[in-house]
Amino acid sequence: MARTVDDLAHRSKREAILDHAAMLVRTIGYEGMSIQQLIDGLGISRGALYHYFDSKQAVLEALVDRMGDAAIAALLPIIDDPGLTASEKFRRYVNASIAVKSANQELIADLMCTWHSEANVRLRHKLTTATLDRTAPMVLEPIIRQGVEEGTFDTAYPAETARIIAGIWLGLADDLIMLLARDEDEEPLTDRARGMIRAATTAVERILGASEGSLYGDQIEQIVRLIRPQKDK
C-alpha cells in the first residue's frame, strides 16, 4: 500500500511541475524558461526537481507527451464506437478538436503571442512531430480503413494518407495563427482564413476520395468563428 501512496505522490508532484512549466512556456516561451525559474516558482530544491526531470529538454518532452495523451484520450471513444460510420467518426473528430480549442480560448490566445517566436521553435517542432506521430496512426488511420471498407473513402494507402491529412491540418493551424498574429482589419482577415480552411477541407475530402462536403459542412464556419474572438481581445 505504501508503494501506491508513493506512486500517487510522485505523480502528483510531477504534474505540479509540468503545470508550472506550462504556465512559464505560455508567458515567457520555452527558450526563455530556466530550470531556476521552475525551482523558484515551485519552491522546491534543485535536487527535488532533477529527481523528476534530468534536463529542461526532458520537461519539454513530458509537457508535449501530456498534451498529446490528453488529446488522444478524448478522441478514443469516438474511434472505438461501433455504431458510427467512418464519415460520422471523421466529423466527430473534427468537432471534438474544435470543442477542445473553444474550451481553451484563453490558453490559445496566450500561446498565439509566443507561438511563432524564436523562443518556441523547439517546442513547436516537438508538438508538431508528437501530434503527427499520434493522430495519424491512432485516430485518422482507423477511420480511413473503416471508410475504405464501407466504400465511402477510396485510398490504397490508409497509413500514409492519414499522415498527409494530419500534416495538412497542422499546416493550416500554423498558417491561421500566423495570419491572426498580424494586426490588420478583421474582415479581410476572416475572408482569408475562410479561404485557407476551405482549401484544406476540400483537399482532405479529395485525398480520401470522399464526396464533396461529406466530411465538413458548417464546421468551416465554426472554425472561422473560433478564431475571431481572439482577434477581438
| Residues at the contact surface with its own copies, assessed by CB under 8 A | 57, 118, 121-122, 124-125, 155-157, 160-161, 163-164, 167-168, 171, 175, 195-196, 198-200, 202-203, 206-207, 209
- Residue 17 is placed in which grid cell? 511541475
Angle at 117 between CA 112 and CA 123, to 5 degrees: 80
Nearer to its own copies, 105 or 214 (CB): 214
Q: What's the closest the beta carbon of residue 220 comes to its own copies, in angstroms?
A: 13
Q: What's the closest the beta carbon of residue 120 comes to its own copies, in angstroms?
A: 10
CA gap 64, 128 in Å, rounded:
9
Q: What's the closest the beta carbon of residue 35 comes to its own copies, in angstroms?
A: 17
Q: What's the closest the beta carbon of residue 125 comes to its own copies, in angstroms?
A: 5
Nearer to its own copies, 39 or 220 (CB): 220
Nearer to its own copies, 146 or 155 (CB): 155
Nearer to its own copies, 62 or 74 (CB): 62
Main-chain phi, psi angles of 208, to 5 degrees: -80, -5
Nearer to its own copies, 84 or 174 (CB): 174
Q: What's the closest the beta carbon of residue 129 comes to its own copies, in angstroms?
A: 9
Nearest Cα residue to 211 out of 86, 82, 79, 94: 86
CA gap 124, 128 in Å, rounded:
6
CA gap 18, 21 in Å, rounded:
5
Main-chain phi, psi angles of 209, to 5 degrees: 65, 25
Largest separation between any pair of C-alpha atoms in the chain: 62
